Structure 1
Amino acid sequence: MAHLLGGENLSISFGTRTVLDGVTVGLNYGDRIGVVGRNGDGKSTLMRLLAQRITADAGRVTWRRGLDVGYLDQGDVLDGDLDVGRAIVGDRADHEWAANPRIREIMAGLVGDVDWHARVNSLSGGQRRRVALAKLLIEPHDVIMLDEPTNHLDVEGVAWLARHLKGRWRANEGAFLVVTHDRWFLDEVSTDTWEVHDGIVEPFEGGYAAYVLARAERDRMAAVVEGKRQNLMKKELAWLRRGAPARTSKPKFRIEAANALIADVPEPRDSVALSRMATARLGKDVVDLEGVTLAYDDESPLLDNVTLRLAPGERVGVVGVNGAGKSTLLRLLSGEIAPTSGRVKRGKTVVPAVLSQDVRELDDVADLRVVEVIQREKQTFAIGGKELTAGQLVEQLGFTNQKQWTRVSELSGGERRRLQLLRLLVGEPNVLMLDEPTNDLDTDTLAAVEDVLDGWPGTLVVVSHDRYLLERVTDHQLALLGDGKVRALPGGVDQYLALREAALASGAVAGSGPAPASGAGTADGGASPAASGAAGGSGATEAEKRQARKDLNRVERQLGKLTDQEAKLHAQMAEAAEDYGRLGELNAQLQALLAEKEGLELEWLEASEVLE
């Protein structure tokens, strides 16, 4: 493959800390590379070096002659005084860009719903991010570098960007480098992964899932080597005590890497140390919304006649377009706000805790140190039959001895979120509500937080655009599509995307997500560069709607039974891990069940569209 750009023996330090030390990397035509690593380990620094935005202390960066590199900064670099049109296309006339189908597709996919004449500084964070992406993607760059491109994007925006990057070039053309904490996005777009850690860059083949497996295998092999060394030391010590060494048998390792890794993976709901923390008893009643409507001033209601019941121990994820009322729903459930009409019923034993998007709950302890924040809750904690100090507890969530004495005001965004989550948990709530908990967290920290949530025994409600997290820690999802209703998603996030695509195609639901990738740009300077569909409903008769409701109830019951059968099959497969014949039979049953389940989900989707 032809070489595009590279860095040779790159080293850079900030103060006394060396971020990169003698790193050599390169990009070739066809490379699709995701960059992962802990916050502060140098992911963005590496990208800025390769983009020639900053200069290394040592080493050099070389580009192929005539190379065109597009760079999306992590922060907002748009001129806020420009209107949206000029911010994206500059002074080019409409006919110059609207005649290009590739540009029209980008406009429709990212800014189809954004006012073409609005000032950039009047836009929301998500809209500004999509404008910046559109400005970058309409240009024919040879290499694209994206620093946290999914920040502020909703599920649809992330899915659209993934589709675009996968189809932007042919297999042996172009290249991109992306830094992101969105693990679904990494898995979807990248074919190779760079891990930045301890001043080096370590390459892995494959996307995020392959990287996790490879890293686990690397750590396992390191543990084997360390185990052998420890065994040798024990034998030497025994020889010194007893004289001649006893005859020992050499350990036998039957290593099949993939099977060994899978066999060692614990169940997703396995308990962890923090989960054994005492949780306030939760009765049979949690929170019920009964016919709730919430509206501000004369605007259309954010929630319209919504009925929702949370059960003890339920784990539910919430997805939806920006502005559809996801955070408002959490505030209703927590009791922070009251509905315009309807009833909110809370159980007498409910002890809620809410992690907000901006972690404003830590403002009142900004001058305290990390360990002091937890000490204010309690001095000691009984976890798993052991008594831990506040220092030992915060260390379990990644705060080293040095970090424990850092003031809260000096913590990074990711560290603040970790601290606030721990603070919420030590308060012993039984209903935990998380609003965009993945903001500012790196992939390693996300895995640690998910580990904590896996074993947490109370009711969990998570609002997030991170579909990996939602599918990882919740058992089912709900959707807010911008029409004031709350819908169940037996088909998960994929079903939500299908519903949005169908709704946008028919123009039936207003929302802030990107428009479908169809329609040409307007040449008369209209409010949006993408053509919009005519509004209208499904047009179904009352008899058809009644039948659709019956079909929905029937399909949901069948899906529930199939889900139970699927869980039993997985359990049987785990028990028959060494019996390959039996395992093959069970796998055949599982595939048949999944096919039946997929058919029912499509049937559910068709019935739900009748009721739209």
Structure 2
Amino acid sequence: MAHLLGAEALHLEVPTKTVFDAVTLGVAEGDRIGIVGRNGDGKSSLLMMLAGRREPDGGKVTMRGGTTIGVLDQADVFAPGETVGHAIVGDRPEYEWAGDPRTREVIAGLVADLDWESGLEALSGGQRRRVALARLLVGEHEVLFLDEPTNHLDVEGISWLAGHLRRRWPSGQGALLVVTHDRWFLDEVCTTTWEVHDRIVEPFEGGYAAYILQRVERDRQAAAIEQKRQNLARKELAWLRRGAPARTSKPKFRIDAANELIADVPEIRDRVSLQSMAVARLGKEVVNLVEAGVAFGDRVILEEVDWLLAPGERTGILGVNGAGKSTLLGLISGAVEPTAGRVKRGKTVQVATLTQRLDELEEHLQDPVRTVIGRLRTSFTVGSGSKAQELTPGQLLERMGFTSAQLSTPVKDLSGGQKRRLQLLLILLDQPNVLILDEPTNDLDTDMLAAMEDLLDSWPGTLIVVSHDRYFLERVTDQQYAILDKHLRHLPGGVDQYLELRAAEERAREEPRTGGGAATGGGATGGAAAGGGAAGASIEPALSGAERRAAEKELSAVERKMERLQTDAARARDGLAGLDQADYTLLNAEMVKITAIEDEVAALEERWLELSGLLE
């Protein structure tokens, strides 16, 4: 594939540390690269250097002549007095942008609900983010650099964006580099993962799930150095294999290898023990909502909500922004009183809420972390039954990624992610038995999200989660509900069912209004809905019966051949030990054979991925 841009011997320093040292890498047409790593290790800096937005202290970035790039950074900056429409299409005449299928699709997918003439100053952060994305995506760019594109987007917006990026360029064309902590998004969009750590950039094939598998294998080889990180990654891999097998679709021999890796890993949560402990702490009655409703004046937010929360229940709540998720959480916590029906709470219920704000830390801003934690409990129990373990607050902090040096840091000087982790620990040390998490993943990198998930796995109480991070939601909860048309609805099919219901709602809403014409300026969309609704992805023509059978037959043959070649390569590598190590000619000949086998496997894997995509 043709080379688009590259970096040679990049070096970057900040006042307190060296961020990158002699980093060399390249981007070719067809690359879809996800960039992951701990907060502060340089993900955004790398992205901005490659995009030409930041000068390295050493080395250079080169780009193929004429290559066009588009950049979405974390700050959504617009000109004063800018309107939604002008920010997206500029001074282009309406007939021009309304006749462009891509522009219509982007407008329909991201800003269909916004007033075309509205000033951007009046919009929320999430709405401004969608406008910034739309402004970028309506353009023609060979390379897109996206820094946290899913921030402030809801589940539908994230699903639409993933679908758009998958089909934005033909196969083998264009390039995408994205920094995000949304692991579902990484799996949906990226075919390569770059991990930024310890002043280097380490590449991995595949999206997040494949990256986790490869990282586990790497960490197993260096267990003495990174034991803690290895165990956490292996546990997450166990969930990937057992809880969401579709995400790690691999040839059978790779599935077998993954299963061997997790053979000795226990189930993510000991549900029986946790349920028993939850009943002991809560009793049989937690919070019961009986025909509950909430209205503010003439505006009805929720109506006829029936929900009996059980001890140890772990539930995710879905809904568009403004659907009433926060109001529902308020009913559970007692912050909101119902205007219809009733809410009954058990006598022993102690509700705690991790809000999107950092209110719990306000009174501690000037204090060192060590002092703040020292005022609370002297120990915290994690696990259950025979696996129960008493941890000190300091050990809890270490488990959540704080170093001993950071214990002396004033709270006000912590990063956003560190404050978020400290906020959760303060709440857990207060020992609630009903925990509400409202967008808990903000400001956390993928490693810290995994650490939070690991901690919540051993928490014995009722857990209610509102999050646009689909991966986190599915990982820590056992069931999902959605607020649809002011009612609470159970989703046996999870997030996929929710997206289908929302897409059906959008189609039903659009049918009376659309007549197949072009978009009009006032509403910004009109007939543009042809490009996709809020849930977004257009439906590609299905394979015929004969084509599907042929593809399935070829897929099976490719898997068998890959498995045979892997066995041949392993046997050949084992045979090297029996050769005369001084006979360099013979050793070189054998290595040439092994390399040829591995190259053939790589080519077959490419074909396997193509066939798998056709059969999805």
* Fold in common (TM above 0.5): yes
- Partner of 1:263, secondary structure, is coil
1:451-479 deviations in whole A, cap 9, x for unaligned?
11112111010001111111111111000
1:382-438 deviations in whole A, cap 9, x for unaligned?
667766543233222211101111111111121111111111111111101100111
1:501 pairs with 485, 500, 503, which one?
503
Residue in 2 that maps onto 1:344: 343
Residue in 1 that maps onto 2:489: 487
Counterparts of 2:279 and 2:56 in 1: how far apart (Å)? 50
Counterparts of 1:493 and 1:486 in 2: how far apart (Å)? 14
Amino acid at match of 2:372: V
Amino acid at match of 1:318: I
Residue in 2 that maps onto 1:443: 446
CA contact (8 A) 1:150 1:182 kept: yes
CA contact (8 A) 1:107 1:530 kept: no
Counterparts of 2:140 and 2:33 in 1: how far apart (Å)? 19
Counterparts of 1:366 and 1:147 in 2: how far apart (Å)? 29
2:522 pairs with 521, 526, 550, which one?
526
Shift in CA distance, 44/280, structure 1 to aligned 2, threshold 3 Å = farther
Residue in 2 that maps onto 1:578: none
Residue in 2 that maps onto 1:319: 318
Q: CA deviation at 1:172?
A: 1.0
The TM-score, its normalising length taken from structure 1, stands at 0.77
C-alpha RMSD over aligned residues: 2.6
Q: CA deviation at 1:371?
A: 2.1
CA contact (8 A) 2:104 2:528 kept: no
- Partner of 1:170, secondary structure, is coil
1:6-65 deviations in whole A, cap 9, x for unaligned?
111101111031111111111100000000000111000000000010100000011111
Counterparts of 1:276 and 1:394 in 2: how far apart (Å)? 27
Shift in CA distance, 225/326, structure 1 to aligned 2, threshold 3 Å = closer
1:202-251 deviations in whole A, cap 9, x for unaligned?
00000000000000000001228999xxxxxxxxxxxxxxxxxxxxxxxx
Residue in 2 that maps onto 1:425: 428
Amino acid at match of 2:431: E
Q: CA deviation at 1:366?
A: 1.4
Counterparts of 1:197 and 1:362 in 2: how far apart (Å)? 29
Residue in 2 that maps onto 1:78: 78
- Partner of 2:26, secondary structure, is strand
Q: Confirm or deny that 1:459 pairs with 2:455.
A: no
Counterparts of 2:294 and 2:350 in 1: how far apart (Å)? 23
Counterparts of 1:392 and 1:400 in 2: how far apart (Å)? 10
Identical aligned residues as a percent: 60
Counterparts of 1:308 and 1:388 in 2: how far apart (Å)? 35
Q: Confirm or deny that 1:10 pairs with 2:13.
A: no
1:320-379 deviations in whole A, cap 9, x for unaligned?
101111122111101112122221100001011100012222112111221222222123
In structure 2, stretches of 5+ residues that fail to align are 228-254, 530-616
Q: How does 1:177-576 map to 2 (within 5 A)?
A: 177-223=177-223, 257-270=257-270, 281-299=281-299, 301-381=300-380, 388-481=391-484, 483-507=485-509, 521-523=518-520, 525-531=521-527
Amino acid at match of 2:334: G
Q: How does 1:571-586 map to 2 (within 5 A)?
A: none
CA contact (8 A) 2:278 2:461 kept: no
Q: CA deviation at 1:304?
A: 1.3
Residue in 1 that maps onto 2:546: none
CA contact (8 A) 1:277 1:382 kept: no
- Partner of 2:267, secondary structure, is coil
The TM-score, its normalising length taken from structure 2, stands at 0.77
1:58-101 deviations in whole A, cap 9, x for unaligned?
00011111111000011221235211000111111111111111
Shift in CA distance, 2/286, structure 1 to aligned 2, threshold 3 Å = same
Amino acid at match of 1:433: I
Residue in 1 that maps onto 2:167: 167
Counterparts of 2:264 and 2:516 in 1: how far apart (Å)? 50
Counterparts of 2:402 and 2:280 in 1: how far apart (Å)? 26
Counterparts of 2:517 and 2:134 in 1: how far apart (Å)? 15
Shift in CA distance, 435/215, structure 1 to aligned 2, threshold 3 Å = same
Residue in 2 that maps onto 1:589: none
Counterparts of 1:225 and 1:508 in 2: how far apart (Å)? 57
Shift in CA distance, 210/532, structure 1 to aligned 2, threshold 3 Å = closer
Shift in CA distance, 6/173, structure 1 to aligned 2, threshold 3 Å = same
Residue in 2 that maps onto 1:586: none
CA contact (8 A) 2:278 2:433 kept: no
1:495-542 deviations in whole A, cap 9, x for unaligned?
0000000011001899xxxx99x966533x213323499xxxxxxxxx
Shift in CA distance, 381/99, structure 1 to aligned 2, threshold 3 Å = closer
In structure 1, stretches of 5+ residues that fail to align are 228-254, 534-612
CA contact (8 A) 2:147 2:180 kept: yes
Residue in 1 that maps onto 2:106: 106
